[in-house]
Structure 1
Amino acid sequence: MSLDSAKLNLWLSLRRFFRREFLPVLTDLRLAIILLLAIAVFSISGTVIEQGQSVAFYQANYPEEPALFGFLSWKVLLSLGLDHVYRTWWFLALLILFGSSLTACTFRRQLPALKWFSRTWKFYKQPHQFRKFALSAEFSHATVDNLVPLIEKRYQVFREGDALYASRGLVGRVGPIVVHASMILILVGAIWGAMTGFMAQEMVASGDSFKVQNIVDAGPWAAPQIPQDWSVRVNRFWIDYTPTGGIDQFYSDLSVIDDQGQEVKHKKIFVNEPLRYRGVTFYQTDWGIAAIRIRLNKSPILQLPMARLNTNGQGRLWATWIPTKPDLSAGVSLVARDLQGMLLLYDTTGQLINTVRPGMGVEVNGVTLKIEEVVGSTGLQIKADPGIPFVYSGFALLMLGVLMSYISHSQIWALQKDGKLYVGGKTNRAHVAFEREFLGMLEQLGKPTVVPDAVNAIASQEA
């Protein structure tokens, strides 16, 4: 046997295996249901388990002793990739396998079925062919010409001599194909978004500019989506408070700056009102205190950074140390809770020595300390997901396909032969409504000479 013959035999064997063994399994409805359930379960886990957090976060919230449900510790969670479910190889493999199953089913079953239905307006030329219909009748004093006026307003009618075919609602047969196509489009969008999208977080002080750099989660092909030729400036950050002192809303006034230093977009954002530019979305998610501006006696305004204190979940506090002597041998600690409240001053022994508000001055260690401004910082979550247009289009197509699928595909055949008229019909859904319509049509044609038991049963129910 030559090498070419061996290759040909191998190719034919693989083709037979694919068509006879693999393809039937791939198009099996049970496999599709199992895959869909698995995708749903892991999608839920990605919603319940916080995604894209630090290792320390998972160590604190998913300890080994006691492990959640007896097994889910931070080590198990990280090893399985449950901290970034939607970008794991196994989740993407599930999506690809489910999409392949839908595609194979569409081309092997749905499209051939549609092609067959589009040809079913072939005409029945023999009376015995009408015996297969549960709804059929035989008339001795009616013709095809009598039938046409009764159905032509509701059906598309085709005639070939004394044979007739009428149908309506063929779009109902297209509906399942549209549903399959929409689900494939949604899967394509999800996979494309997972491979090319990214998520970043930035904490930016009011008045500063930044480029997207702090990437916390990204797909393998996300680099082109990360902006390099433009930046964002935080013009101002502020908080609106309620009369009782609680936070009502926090805002960021943002400007998009191109590489020439020109503002190309400007927007005030707040929770649920993000800034979108070139496929990148900036969400207002957090806030903090970046720095404090002070004046000692008649010195120039000094800006000192503030650091967030670890309070073990007992609230938010920021602090800094303010020197009161040029040689830094003396100073006070300043603690702040928010951007407008009372600021606390502590000496080197940890004793509270005074309180002050922004805009006020106070005497400490022989100098006048004036708080000019508390500089806030905005916490931004930045996302890019190029697959979203595909997903949204897929959901719109899915809703359309579901509506189309509810449309009944009804068909009527008729044949006039040997002085008799044979009529039969069927539908794929809304059987009761079609049966009543069919019975009403028979009554208008006259009294049939032969009526099947099914039609008699319907007539007796109507009576």
Structure 2
Amino acid sequence: MSANPTPVPNTTLSTSGWELKHGSRAWRAFIELLSSMRFAIALLVIVAIASIIGTVLTQGQPYNNYINQFGPFWAEVFRKFELYNVYSSWWFLLILTFLVVSTSLCLIRNTPKIITDLKTYKEGVREQSMRHFHERGEATFTDGRAATVAHLTGVMRSHGYKVKLQERPAAQEGAAASTMIAAKKGGLNRVGYVLAHAAFVLICVGALFDGDMMIKAQMWMFGKEPLKTNMLVSQVPEINKLSVHNPTYRGNLQIPDGGESNMAVLTMGDGVLLQPLPFEIHLKKFNIDFYSTGMPRLFASDVVITDPRNGKSFPAKIEVNHPLTYDGVTIFQSGFADGGSELFLKAWPMHGPSDKTFDLTGTVGSDRQLSNGAQSLQVEFSELRVFNVQDMSPAQTSGIKPKDKSSFMSSFDQHLGAPVAAPGERHLQNIGPAVIYKIRDASGQAHEYFNYMLPTELNGEKVFLAGERGSLDAGYKYLRIPADGNDSIDGWMRFRAALFNPKAREQAAAQYVSATLPPDATAELKSQLMVTAGRTLDIFAGEIPNDPKTGKPVVQAPGGLPALAQYLEAAVPEDKQQQASDVFVRILNGTLWQLWQISRENHGEKPATQDAAHEKFFDSAVLALSDTFFYPAPLYLQMTNYKQVQASIFQVARAPGKVVVYTGAVLLILGVFAMLYIRERRIWFLVKDRADGGSDTLMAMSTNRRTLEYKKEFETLRAASLGVASPDPTPDSPAPDNAST
């Protein structure tokens, strides 16, 4: 029943599979190790560890992000080992290749043995061996051997077993002749091993083919190099482009509304390769819909595909989870971005006594150079966000105001507070458009800014939120600028300009003295209060006096409330600081109130009355003025209007290996099912002649997994074939008509 395959050169086939017979001893030992199960398991462990690293360590981020996270030394070490792109690193691909070779050799070695076992009934088992099986039984039949054999083979076939007979003549004179009935079922269990291992090989081969290995092979064979500088697509040299006939790739392309492209971008390390597509994609319109939380609910692209080879075009719609496939290339809706929206801004000075503005325009993704002759700045427009849904619950919108505005010597370590605080009940609200931009100085240092276009209501007060952060991995800190009675930022900006105007401060101090002291106050008292009020306002404005002994500023803070707090701590004894702080608070509030009246009067506004609305604005304005000393930008860019241009991000993939991977996945399912749910069972019956014309029968059964179901099956088969229900039947046990026990 078994076949003997023809041996291949340098190998031989045995029941153990293919074995290498020629070659050096070291070579044979290497092949033996490479095809062993322990070697494959060791490689699997390494692949698992690498996968953990690739999961824990965010892949494909800009190198500067890793420097900020790990420091220059470890960032460079991780870069040498390509841990930022684990799954496309040379060592990971090498390990995966060895794993495929090892599994393939293991499969080649063991498949012949499995095939041989499938064809073998093991009918040569001896009687002595059968009596040592766990599951066995005996019976004596009154019928002859031929009738008993016919009965037993019929029972086995009726239960789905394949049967093979072996006639055994009398071994010696006087011994009885016998017939061995060998039956088996569930042989596909062993096939599951072959299917599972073949599936693993197919999945790995398909993954390797569709991965970066083919791209790297082309780079090595044809001298392709990643592009590491920004330039127009039309200017990119051929050395940075792959062939349009590239068999496998996965890249991205971004197309604005009304635009078209036939060039995908493939990220390779710290550079990119351009992949020409065999067709052109024209984006007619990008559509997006949002949930109430501000998260995108649906985004889709209406496109027109044009094939330049035949000039044919056809419209299509690409949605998330509904890709388009043409000419072997699958186009996925990956995301969306800004396609170059136009921004219209008003620039307010944040330093000095001027409140003059100038208009500024730009597009997202571009930059503008600004200069006043003494200082040069570069404004880089990063993003326009039309929808900004934030948690506006009371617990989330608390500001950084001190509980008691008179005790301003505490809590000054929080400048430009965070937008949210402690968690609480969520109240999501869209607070309007915002613009994100960077301001870079002449040395190349940049801060990123996040300014909302409209005032946001926090704690019952409308404020303009101006976010700032010094690095991309830091959170935004927000300057809260109160909106005036016209819901504009103009009132506070004029107040700020007046604070930095020495003449306006002197006038405010004089008006405060006049409003505070009675008309008959002495000239000396007026002079003392004038000096104190002027000094208080100057320190708050950042005009810090120098220490006459050292010649250095008496405080380290640049201005605002922290500077006044440090001045009190340095100039007033500790036991009198609380009393002095109360005096300074009254003087500061009084002089700043007069300064605000002056700024309003200079712009044709009526004096503010001391009602709740004006007092709330004033308190918030003072805190915002104090925080401006920690706002690093010399300009505040207020977005006045915008013209949004959407862009769709597509992922394009040519992955012929996916058919191989899918085939492997199907084989893996079948293989695992066969190994787990199909049990191989083998049964033997040894039927001997008796002198009285009857026959003696010995039964034995084995399986690769002894389960409760297997034991029940044995009992059923034994009862059906031998007519006994226990290994040691009693005289009262039932027996078939033609059998006796």
TM surpasses 0.5: yes
Amino acid at match of 1:96: T
Partner of 1:159: 165
Amino acid at match of 1:421: T
Shift of 1:78: 1.6
Provide the C-alpha distance between the structure 2 equivalents of 1:375 and 1:96, rounded to a whole number of angstroms.
Answer: 46
CA shift in 2, pair 1:85/1:440, >3 Å: same
Provide the C-alpha distance between the structure 2 equivalents of 1:245 and 1:440, rounded to a whole number of angstroms.
Answer: 65
Tell me how large the CA RMSD over aligned residues is.
4.0
Equivalent positions of 1:364-379 (< 5 A) are 373-379=643-649
Partner of 1:263: 313
Provide the C-alpha distance between the structure 2 equivalents of 1:428 and 1:280, rounded to a whole number of angstroms.
Answer: 46
Amino acid at match of 1:158: K
Provide the C-alpha distance between the structure 1 equivalents of 2:701 and 2:718, rounded to a whole number of angstroms.
Answer: 11
CA shift in 2, pair 1:58/1:249, >3 Å: farther
1:438 aligns with 2:489: no
CA contact (8 A) 1:306 1:318 kept: no
1:192 aligns with 2:209: yes
- Percent of matched pairs sharing the same residue: 25
- Residue aligned with 1:290, SS: coil
Provide the C-alpha distance between the structure 1 equivalents of 2:655 and 2:93, rounded to a whole number of angstroms.
Answer: 15
Equivalent positions of 1:33-432 (< 5 A) are 33-64=41-72, 73-109=74-110, 111-124=111-124, 127-141=127-141, 143-154=148-159, 155-161=161-167, 162-194=179-211, 195-196=213-214, 197-217=248-268, 226-242=275-291, 247-259=296-308, 260-264=310-314, 266-270=316-320, 272-277=321-326, 278-292=328-342, 305-307=363-365, 309=381, 317=435, 355-356=640-641, 373-406=643-676, 407-419=678-690, 420-432=696-708
Amino acid at match of 2:650: L
Shift of 1:61: 4.1
Higher strand share: 1
Shift of 1:189: 0.9
Give deviations 1:120-160, integer Å, cap 9, x for gaps: 22534853353353323333326223323332212122334
CA contact (8 A) 2:435 2:639 kept: no
Provide the C-alpha distance between the structure 2 equivalents of 1:263 and 1:211, rounded to a whole number of angstroms.
Answer: 14
Shift of 1:168: 0.8
Provide the C-alpha distance between the structure 1 equivalents of 2:98 and 2:434, rounded to a whole number of angstroms.
Answer: 47
Partner of 1:362: none
Amino acid at match of 1:190: A
Which structure has the larger Rg? 2
- Residue aligned with 2:141, SS: coil
Report runs of 4+ in structure 1 exceeding 6 Å deviation.
Answer: 313-316, 335-338, 344-347, 351-354
Provide the C-alpha distance between the structure 2 equivalents of 1:427 and 1:156, rounded to a whole number of angstroms.
Answer: 15
CA contact (8 A) 1:414 1:423 kept: yes
Provide the C-alpha distance between the structure 2 equivalents of 1:49 and 1:354, rounded to a whole number of angstroms.
Answer: 37
Give unpaired runs (5+ residues) of structure 2: 1-9, 11-19, 143-147, 168-178, 215-247, 345-360, 366-379, 384-417, 420-432, 439-449, 454-487, 494-633, 691-695, 734-741
Give deviations 1:185-238, integer Å, cap 9, x for gaps: 1111111112234343333221011122432139xxx99xx4443121111124
- Residue aligned with 1:212, SS: strand
CA contact (8 A) 2:164 2:181 kept: yes
CA contact (8 A) 2:305 2:313 kept: yes
CA contact (8 A) 1:137 1:451 kept: yes
CA shift in 2, pair 1:266/1:60, >3 Å: farther
Shift of 1:439: 2.9
Shift of 1:22: 1.8
Amino acid at match of 2:208: I
Amino acid at match of 2:197: H
Shift of 1:354: 8.1
Partner of 1:14: 23
Partner of 2:445: none
Amino acid at match of 1:153: S
Partner of 2:34: 26
CA contact (8 A) 2:255 2:339 kept: no
CA contact (8 A) 1:198 1:383 kept: yes
Q: TM-score, normalised by structure 1?
A: 0.71
Give deviations 1:423-456, integer Å, cap 9, x for gaps: 22211124432333223333344577x958xx99
CA shift in 2, pair 1:392/1:12, >3 Å: closer
CA contact (8 A) 1:198 1:217 kept: no
Partner of 2:347: none
Shift of 1:404: 0.9
Give unpaired runs (5+ residues) of structure 1: 1-7, 66-72, 295-302, 321-334, 339-343, 359-372
Shift of 1:390: 1.8
Provide the C-alpha distance between the structure 1 equivalents of 2:687 and 2:295, rounded to a whole number of angstroms.
Answer: 84
Provide the C-alpha distance between the structure 2 equivalents of 1:137 and 1:163, rounded to a whole number of angstroms.
Answer: 15
Provide the C-alpha distance between the structure 1 equivalents of 2:658 and 2:125, rounded to a whole number of angstroms.
Answer: 53
